[in-house]
Structure formats: C-alpha cells, structure tokens
Amino acid sequence: MPDTLPDRLLVWYDRDARTLPWRGLTDPYAVWLSEVMLQQTTVAAVIPYFARFLARWPTVESLAAAPTDAVMAEWAGLGYYARARNLIACAKLVTQWRNGRFPEDEAGLRQLPGVGDYTAAAIAAIAFGQKAVVVDGNVERVMTRLHAVQEPLPKAKPRLKQLAAALTPDLRAGDYAQAVMDLGATICTPRKPACGICPWQEPCEGRRLGIAERLPAKLEKPARPIRFGTAFWLTDSKGRVLLRRRPPQGLLGGMMEIPSTEWSETQPADPTAQAPITADWRALPGEVRHIFTHFQLNLRIMAAKAGPGGRPSGLWVELDRLGEHALPTVMRKLVRHALAKAY
C-alpha cells in the first residue's frame, strides 16, 4: 500500500464522518448545481438551498422548464444573482441543445454560462471521474502552506495550480478534489488552522517554518465606500405595497426591489423628487444598513399611502405574499424595518 500524500488525504476523507448532502453524488446535474451554489458561498448557507432546488427541480430539464421568476425567487437570499441567471441559461442550453447531457470534459464544460475554470474542473472530476486539477480558494490556501509559498495572491495563482496538478492522483480525482477542499474548510482554515490533527502536518513546510497561519499572503484591499439613498414604502388602500423589478444586469440584476432613489455618495437633498409618485411622504425613524462586496449601503425609508390618482409603475404585492417574490436580503431588511416602523 503506497503512502503518497493523496493517499493519506483520501484515508482521512474516507474516515471523516462529516456528511454533506452532495458527497457521493455523481449525477452531473446535482454536481453542477452544488458547485455553482458553492461559488464564494459557505457550505452552511448552501445546504438548505441545494435541498430545495433538488426537490423542486430534480432534473436539468425540469429546471430549464421553470419560470425565471420562480428560480430567482428560490435563489433569493443566496447572493451573487448572476449565478441564478446563468443557471437558468445553462439549464436551457443543456436541455435544448444537448438533450439534457452535460459535456463530459473540462473544455466543453468551460463553455457553459457560469462555469469557469474551477467549476469545470470540479464537475469533470466529481461527475465524470476525470483527472482534472481542481483549484479553489481552499486548494490555494492548502498549497501555499504545504509548500510555504510566500508570494502573495493573486500573483501566485499559476504556481499554485502547478503544485496542485503535481499532487492530483489518477484515481479518485473527484474524491481527492473534495478532500482537499474539505481539508481547507475544516482543518487548514484561514485562521487558527488545526495543524495538530492535519493528515498533512508532517510534510507541511508552512507548519515547519511556523508561518502557516500567515499564509496565503494577500495584497491589501481598498477601503469600502459608503453610499446613501432613500427607499419609498408605498402602500395602497388595499394594504398592498409597491415593488419594482431591477434592470436585468448589474447589482441585484433581475431581482425585485422596494423603489428607491439612486444610491450615491451623499444623501439626496430632496429624495421625494425621485419618488415613484407625488404623495405625502413621511420619513420613518432609523435606517437600514447593508454590506455589499464593494460598498456599504445606508438607506432611509419614507412611507406614503397612494391615493386613487397615482399610477406608479411596478407591482402591487400583498404584504403576506412578499415572501413569494424574488426579494434579495437587502430588500427584505427594508421590508422588516418598514413593517416595524410604519404600523
């Protein structure tokens, strides 16, 4: 029995009691779905979404046939909504042009919308057993520590891919890929890695040099700016609230929203000039803060009742049916705040 590094890791992986819903699944559809959901998203966040999607749309054909709004609403809260738009496009492409079959090699998978280098390699390895080099943030962190790579990311990426390729085994490439990622997620963590129980502690150069926890080195990120705006909580005589659909591309693209002013560097002097209708707008106390990847958003709320005259563009939605709509988390925060302060 050879005792290579991949072998040691696979022994650890096979003994690990941690069971993730997608572990052991090789259906390309399920693998693809889980990998897309896991892009930049924690395991804990993905688990309930993965279960709901698979229960509601068990095949790529069923997902392709689903109304776009239903998919976006089911994705609401998971973030990075371009993934959901690409998910739909990819399901339709695979269904209509490939008879529901996913490409079986990296190059073919790489052509699918929303499938980049990482996801293509992951699907090829996990669903099709191919010896693909799977490199995500976990793999990069593990490789930098194992080999004490001190060059900062992202410059070190090519080197890290080489190091990952040199370790990738011919057999069980899918299990191996998941094992490295599990190692990074549970033991070789960004902070306070549990080196004492790591199956790779003996060969780890970063640990030997006492620098593992400081790796990988990264370049500094720019400060996060703050943007301001005012949202408009408009209700009608039937107790419904006005929603709008956001533009199909860009931030929260294709999702629903509470109408608001533009989000700018300073609070608009007269927010009501940008309100959906002219009305007796009254400011609610407090504000809603939300952190996006590249800026912080501080939103005030103004509320009004629509008279019989106003004909704002948008969608009137019953308060108890807001949950059925594709409202991203920042909009759900607004709803909660408005309901607490306006009644």
231-253 core/surface letters (b: 16 or more CB in 10 A; e: else): bbbbbeeeebbbbebbeeeebbe
Nearest CA to 229 out of 195, 261, 197 is that of 261
272 binds DNA (CB under 7 A): no
**From the CB of 185, what's the least distance to DNA, in Å?**
4
Q: What DSSP assignment string belongs to 263-285? A: -BSS--S-GGGGSSS----EEPS
3-state SS, residue 210:
coil
Q: How far is CA 76 from CA 22, 255, 291, in A?
A: 21, 8, 16
Structure token pair of residue 271: 């927010």
Structure token pair of residue 145: 């520590």
293 binds DNA (CB under 7 A): yes
**Closer CB to DNA, residue 28 or residue 279?**
28
190 binds DNA (CB under 7 A): yes
What is the longest distance spanned by two Cα atoms in the chain? 81
**Closer CB to DNA, residue 306 or residue 330?**
330
- Write the DSSP symbol of residue 61: H
Could you give the CA distance from residue 123 to residue 190 in angstroms, rounded to a whole number? 25
**Closer CB to DNA, residue 280 or residue 324?**
324
Q: Is 74 a catalytic residue?
A: no
**Closer CB to DNA, residue 141 or residue 207?**
141
Q: Contact with DNA (CB under 7 A): which of 13, 145, 168, 182?
A: 182
35 binds DNA (CB under 7 A): yes
211 binds DNA (CB under 7 A): no
144 binds DNA (CB under 7 A): no
Structure token pair of residue 226: 């703050």
Question: Footprint of DNA on residues 214-253 (CB under 7 A)?
Answer: 218, 221-222, 250-253
Q: Contact with DNA (CB under 7 A): which of 33, 87, 91, 120?
A: 120
**Closer CB to DNA, residue 169 or residue 253?**
253
79 binds DNA (CB under 7 A): yes
9 binds DNA (CB under 7 A): no
Residues in the chain: 343
**Closer CB to DNA, residue 221 or residue 321?**
221
- The active-site residue out of 35, 106, 140, 257 is 35
**From the CB of 11, what's the least distance to DNA, in Å?**
18
200 binds DNA (CB under 7 A): no
Checking 100-107 for CB contacts under 8 A at 24+ apart, the result is 100/59, 100/60, 100/61, 101/28, 102/28, 102/29, 102/32, 102/60, 102/127, 104/128, 104/130, 105/130, 106/130, 106/132
**From the CB of 120, what's the least distance to DNA, in Å?**
6
Q: What are the backbone dihedrals phi and psi of residue 234, each rounded to the nearest 5 degrees, phi first? A: -110, 120
106 binds DNA (CB under 7 A): no
**Residue in the block written with tokens 């920042």:** 330
Q: How far is CA 310 from CA 88, 95, 230, 314, in A?
A: 36, 44, 20, 12
Q: Contact with DNA (CB under 7 A): which of 9, 30, 60, 78?
A: 78
Stretch in the footprint of DNA (CB under 7 A) among 36-44, 51-59, 160-168, 229-237: 36-44
**From the CB of 240, what's the least distance to DNA, in Å?**
22
The residues of the shown chain that bind DNA, judged by CB under 7 A, are: 20, 22-23, 34-35, 38-45, 76-82, 86, 113-120, 122, 136-138, 141, 154, 178, 181-182, 184-185, 190-192, 218, 221-222, 250-253, 290-294, 328-330
The residues carrying an active-site annotation are: 35
